[in-house]
Structure 1
Amino acid sequence: MFFRWLKPYMPRSLYGRAAMILILPVVLLQLVVSFGLVTRHFQGVTEQMTRTVAREVQLVMAALEAQDRTPEALPVVLEELDMSVTYPETLSTQDTRVWYDFSAIIVTRDFKKFVPETSAVELAQNRKVFLHLALPTGPAVLSFERGRVSASNSHQLFVNMVFFGAVLTFVAYLYLRNQLRPIKRLAAASEAFGRGRSVPYAPGGAVEVRAAGSAFLDMRSRIERQMEQRTLLLSGVSHDLRTPLTRFRLGLSLLDDEDREPLEKDVDEMQRMLDAFLDFARGVYEDDSETIDPIELIQSIVDDFQRSGAQVSLYETDGTGEVALRPETVRRAIENLVGNAIRYANRAEVSVQINDRYVRVRVEDDGPGIPPEDREEAVKPFARLEPGRNQNRGMGVGLGLSIAADVARAHGGVLRLKQSERLGGLCADLVLGK
């Protein structure tokens, strides 16, 4: 609960999460240990070097104080210690350093501790140290190289840490990629099967991944057998029933018109039911994907309904482009949605939206719609709602919305039912993923 705010910032991909789990603790541990080691090491080295130079500074101070008695001693001491001295009129009392020079803090502190005559330490110019000294003989500024009071290669450990850390991270990435590749292949095969394609797949990788891959292959085989058996069963039943229906039609043709018409309506209703069963038996995977223009496909569907006398129109289109779809199954799904709309309403309007992620086909009508509590039930196979929705135009067999939902899922999308804001009836959104 406390760390829930971190969730939006966490990586979503398997690569990112695995890399974070493996690399982040190692990097953090290395940084903490390295920082502690570097801090202690260079702090101790700087203190020792500063103390040594402080003793040399005291020797120069003694030579300055004895300059009246032994003037030749000062040049010799400065030359041997590689220092120089100037005599300003005033001394600075302000210590100066570069903001990122943390060792300068230690140098300044130790000089003021071991050389009480120090009034200020300048460490920000040309890698030199300027030591302002308030001596009994007068003010003096002693200068020498910065490398004498602190280590000059303090960055070397950090450079090595960053370089070898990058090399080891790259090696870990290569190993991690090889380990995750079988998982990605399994995910791709599962996604393809969910979209109706059976791509070649062989289990590989670690033992657990191989077990998951083998289980997926077994599951795919069972589902394919069940789909094949269902298709054969329903197709056989539908095919066998067409023969007696044909005999019924021939027999009815011999009756009078008054007696024949109601019976022919019953036979036509049975024929529509058989066609719906056959469409449901075929499933949504009978045709292969093709790159088509969705607007042209939907325009042809609307034209077919208009030729049959239905009040259907293409209301709005947004976006253009060709999309890889299964044209026959998509056509069947849209025809089912439009057919439901004109069965339960007076008119229907179709809209199309195409963008980079999906294709949305919206079918709206001015009928009674479907109550929110019944929409989930409406997309189930063979589901029928209350008779008040049919307006005496036939109830159907309850497979239209179910087939449309299957088509949407097969294309990585979804079927949404809601109330139409424009027409007041049902609004069915068929969303097809790209």
Structure 2
Amino acid sequence: MARNGLKNYVPRSLYGRAALILLLPVVVLQLVVSTSFVRRDLTDVTGQMTYTIMREIDLLEDVVARADSQEEALQALKPYVEPLRINVRFLPTDAPAERDILHWTEFSGRVVRDTLRSNLPQVLAVQMPNSEIAAIVIGTHLGPMKLVFDQRRVTAAAPHQLILTLVAFSFLMTVISFVYMRNQLRPIKKLAEAALAFGRGRSVPYQPRGASEVKAAGTAFVNMRARIERQIEQRTLILSGVSHDLRTPLTRLRLGLAMLDEDDAEPMLRDVDEMQALLDAFLDFSRGVATSASEDVDAHALAETIVGDWQRQGKDVMLGDMVGSGLVTLKSGGMRRAIENLISNAVRYGSRARVSVMVTDHSLRIRVEDDGPGIPQSQWNEAVRPFTRLDPSRNQNKGSGVGLGLAIVADVARAHGGVLRLGTSESLGGLQADLVIGR
């Protein structure tokens, strides 16, 4: 549980995690060095300097204790205060009580104050209004006595200089490291963008760059992309060639059968038509979206055009909900073929079909529903496999097929980096096919 909770606070991007790895040691090092310096070095040095001034205060107090008046005390203190560079004066007894004055940045001053108060109970006030002058008010039998001296006698000059220097240089090195890290991560980002685009059916220019490992991964991706493109092209060429070569003898058979008696030739003509449909289906499957170019398409307009074509054929195909708006980068030829295949299956196995489109900032969903018998959930995965015919679940008497309709749709979805999801229509009761593509 603790490990899963920690994952929620860890950055998900490589750049964020690299930044965390870079910043965390710097921050920890700063805290350790600052704490060690403040608690050990700065505090110890300030304490030692404060003990020195305390001995001088004890000396001055002994001199004042032997005097009977303030004037006599000041006269007796002259031989001591001049070598010690301390300015001494007595405050009026009726003057308001002196209070501590410390600047909010004076960490060392607080150490001086605490050390004096813990060792000299006669200290009335410790004043350090700036970084130049320090004053200590001491209670004597002649009245409050104020000692003014250079603050550098009790605190180190620029005590925070080390910390500020450390912070400044750490910030500078962090900025330099971020710039360098960004340049190192840019080739990885370019590789990810090229792979994502290729997964969605687009081939963007990409040149392997960066560190040797990243460059090796980029070169492997380029080679893999080239092999896949060659495989798709070869598949298309082979099946296109087979289809083209078989069309000629099929045409001769059709012409020959047309010269025979109509009753005798009709069964054979149906066989020829079925063979022609089979070749066309093979060709569609082999092409996939290879012959389509990526372009910005209005998904709503595309669906409306396709539905209008089917309505002109007298089919009960209607538009459903049209949600969202915006252009989507698609291979329009392949996407049109996929939608038409879904509608063709819907009107073949049912009497009505409905097409809905939803466009969001992150995805495109095209849904085709029908009122046919549907497909059992246990056979959804098998239904999208090529050359699979689900005779028990679909009424094959309403049309013929070779089992490539949904396979072509799934192939188009994968070429766009998406997926084909099958389900049951809640409103029509038949099959519900969702073509979901990321934007």
Tell me the TM-score normalized by structure 1: 0.87
Identity in percent: 53
Match for 2:221 among 216, 224, 228?
A: 216
Given that 1:234 and 1:281 are in contact with CA atoms closer than 8 Å, whether structure 2 keeps it comes out as: yes
- Structure 2 gap ranges (5+): none
CA displacement at 1:366 relative to structure 2: 1.9
Q: 1-side partners of 2:308 and 2:253: how far apart?
A: 33
Q: Does 1:182 align with 2:187?
A: yes
User: How far, CA to CA, are the matches of 2:351 and 2:90 in structure 1?
Assistant: 105
Which whole-Å deviations, capped at 9, do the CAs of 1:16-60 have from their partners, x for residues lacking one?
222323442244224313331233221122112222332333344
Q: 1:432 is aligned with what amino acid? A: I
Q: Residue 101 of structure 2 contacts residue 129 of structure 2 at CA under 8 Å; is this kept in 1?
A: no
Partner of 2:75: 73
Q: Residue 91 of structure 1 contacts residue 132 of structure 1 at CA under 8 Å; is this kept in 2?
A: no
Q: In the alignment, does 2:369 pair up with 1:364?
A: yes
Q: CA deviation at 1:90?
A: 9.8
Match of 2:25 in 1: 25
CA contact (8 A) 2:125 2:138 kept: no
In structure 1, C-alpha distance between the alignment counterparts of 2:162 and 2:177, rounded to whole Å:
22
In structure 1, the residue matched to 2:164 is 159
| Cα distance in structure 1, aligned partners of 2:270 and 2:135 | 110
Matches within 5 A, 1:134-213: 134-138=139-143, 148-151=153-156, 153-213=158-218
Match of 1:299 among 288, 304, 319: 304
- Measured at CA, do residues 51 and 341 of structure 1 come closer, stay the same or move farther in structure 2, by a change above 3 Å? same
* Counterpart contact for 2:91–2:145, Cα < 8 Å: yes
Q: CA distance change for structure 1 residues 139 and 328 in 2, over 3 Å: closer, same or farther? A: same
Which residue is equivalent to 1:52? 52
Partner amino acid, structure 2, of 1:170? V
Paired positions, count: 433
Deviation at 1:314, TM superposition (A): 0.9
Deviations 1:242-263 (A, max 9, x none): 2232233323434555555554
Mapped to 1, the partners of 2:322 and 2:76 lie a distance apart of 95
Change in CA separation of 1:67 and 1:278 when aligned onto 2, cut-off 3 Å: same
Query: What CA deviation, in whole Å up to 9, does each residue of 1:148-201 have, x standing for no partner?
Result: 433352332222122211221222223323322332333333333333344444
Question: Residue 429 and residue 85 in structure 1: after superposition, are their counterparts in 2 closer, same or farther (change >3 A)?
Answer: farther
Taking structure 1 as reference, are residues 259 and 67 closer, same or farther at Cα in structure 2, changes over 3 Å only? Answer: farther
* 1:401 lines up with 2:437 in the alignment: no
Deviations 1:309-367 (A, max 9, x none): 21111111112222222111110111111112222222111111122222221111222
8 Å CA contact 1:91–1:134 kept in 2: the answer is: no
> Does 1:111 find its partner at 2:116?
yes
- Counterparts in 2 of 1:20 and 1:258: CA distance versus 1, 3 Å: same
Q: How well do the aligned residues superpose, as a CA RMSD in angstroms?
A: 3.1
Q: Conserved in 1, the CA contact under 8 Å of 2:319 and 2:354?
A: yes
Whole-Å Cα distance in 1 between the matches of residues 170 and 253 of structure 2?
83
* Structure-2 separation of matches of 1:90 and 1:155: 36
CA contact (8 A) 1:195 1:409 kept: yes
Partners of 2:156 and 2:376 in 1: how far apart?
79
Relative to structure 1, the CA distance from residue 275 to residue 74 in structure 2 (aligned partners, 3 Å threshold; closer, same or farther) is farther
* Matched residue SS, 2:111: helix
Superposed displacement of residue 64, structure 1? 3.7
Q: CA deviation at 1:387?
A: 2.9
Map Cα deviations across residues 220-273 of structure 1 (whole Å, 9 max, x no partner).
Answer: 332233222211221112222222322333234345555555544443333222
| Structure 1 residue 403, shift from structure 2 partner | 1.9
Letter in 1 for 2:310: F
Contact between 2:103 and 2:130, CA under 8 Å: does it hold in 1? no
Aligned to 2:316: 311
Counterpart CA distance in 2 for 1:174 and 1:146 is 43
SS in structure 2 at match of 1:392: helix
Kindly indicate whether residue 359 of structure 2 is the aligned counterpart of residue 354 of structure 1. yes
Q: Which residue of 1 aligns with 2:379?
A: 374
| 1:375-409 deviations in Å (ceiling 9; x for gaps) | 22222222222433125213522222222222222
Structure 1 residues 363 and 89: alpha-carbon distance in aligned structure 2, compared to 1, 3 A threshold: farther
Q: List runs of 5+ in structure 1 lacking aligned partners.
A: none
Contact 1:88 1:140 in 2 (8 A): no
Mean Cα deviation higher: 86-95 or 385-394: 86-95
Aligned equivalent of 1:271: 276
Alignment check: 8 A CA contact 2:88 2:145 kept: no
